[in-house]
Amino acid sequence: MKRKNSVRSDAPVRLDAKDAKLLAILRDDARTPISGLAKLLGLNRDTVKYRMKRLEKTGVVRRYYAEIDRSVFGMLVCRVFLLLDESDQRKQALLVQELKDHPNTEALLEYNDRWDLKWVLVAQHLEELDDIIMRISTKYSGVILEKDTLVVVRWTRAAAWDPEQQGDALDDTDRRILSLLSADCRENAVGIARKVHLGSDAVIARIKRLKLSGVIRRFTISIDQQRLGRQQYTIMLQMKQFDEHHQSKLKEFVRARPQILRCMKTIGTWDIMMMISVDDTTQFHGIVKSLKQTFSDVIKNYESYLVYRETFVTSLPRCIVGVEEIVKTTRKKKS
């Protein structure tokens, strides 16, 4: 893809201590009511509403969503890195649009580095995954120059869905509720009830059950790190060996560094993948250096890629929802 400048023209949004605390609260529980936020922040309700609207309008908060454990649906999660040919921009644009519209797509990121795109998708099994990737690769064989496929291995899982204890498997109403919460988890029970044709008490009970069973891991927010003047990188690690001791050690390393947004074990060319958000290249260099020193005995190779932007993201791909509508990934502005 056409390379972009890594520095955005729009100035970073400045946050004060109250803004930072508000983001931290919403990151932990984005369904916290305005009254609860006001109490925790020591502000009145109108001021909290104003601050939230400002964070939305400036693009800092992109969406409020339910983080859903796809494994309860028996889904594999895969990341496909793509290097694209620049000679046909029209076909390249068609590829990007098709990936965004694909029912199995969870996210699509653009890079300013070794790769042009990272396509995150889900599949029920390896055969389906292979079929999806092969169809796209065949259709756009003149556009896709190279690809690298990684299957995510979870270290920890939310509580498994147990039909013996939780009743029948997820029904259409559960999936509809999950769809709505993945689009905007701050929508109240009355609004959801109206859309799924249930009473608000029944909706509240279902949401509570989905949360307790681990289907919904948490209610959180998506923050545009670039709007805060931060840079986002993907780090890939290839290990000489990686046993339970190293895994525990890496978990401790990640927990001690809030800049590491996500860390996962993968099957493929690389063994570990991290998503990191930093203030500048100096901070990034420090984290990488510390990582290499801490695991100098087992790191065989590593690469890092600078993220340009998220082109598309949803916490619940349409193939899971089982409904026709496209789940919107940005919170609807209320008049």
pLDDT, residue 71, reads: 77
User: Percent of the chain at pLDDT above 90?
Assistant: 80
Check whether 131 has a pLDDT greater than 70. Answer: yes
User: Percent of the chain at pLDDT above 70?
Assistant: 88
Average pLDDT estimate for 250-271: 94
Check whether 25 has a pLDDT greater than 70. Answer: yes
Task: Report pLDDT digits (tens) over 159-172.
Answer: 333 433 433 478 88
Stated as kind and residue range, the H or E segment containing 115 is: none
pLDDT, residue 312, reads: 92
Check whether 322 has a pLDDT greater than 70. Answer: no
pLDDT, residue 35, reads: 98
Task: Grade residue 114 by pLDDT with cuts at 50, 70 and 90.
Answer: very high
List of E strands, the chain: 61-68, 76-84, 105-111, 117-123, 144-153, 216-223, 231-239, 260-267, 272-278, 299-313
Average pLDDT estimate for 29-40: 98
Q: Share the mean pLDDT of the chain.
A: 89
Instruction: Give one DSSP letter per residue of 2-44, joined into a string.
Output: ----SS-SSPPPP--HHHHHHHHHHHH-TT--HHHHHHHHT--
C-alpha to C-alpha distance for 24 and 18, rounded to whole angstroms:
10
DSSP state of 197: T
Domains of the chain in start order, with CATH, are 17-58 (1.10.10.10), 227-311 (3.30.70.920)
pLDDT, residue 72, reads: 80
Task: Grade residue 157 by pLDDT with cuts at 50, 70 and 90.
Answer: very low
Average pLDDT estimate for 132-154: 95
Residues in CB range of 90: below 8 A, 6 or more apart? none
DSSP state of 140: T
CA-CA-CA-CA dihedral for 318, 151, 115, 111, to nearest 10: 50
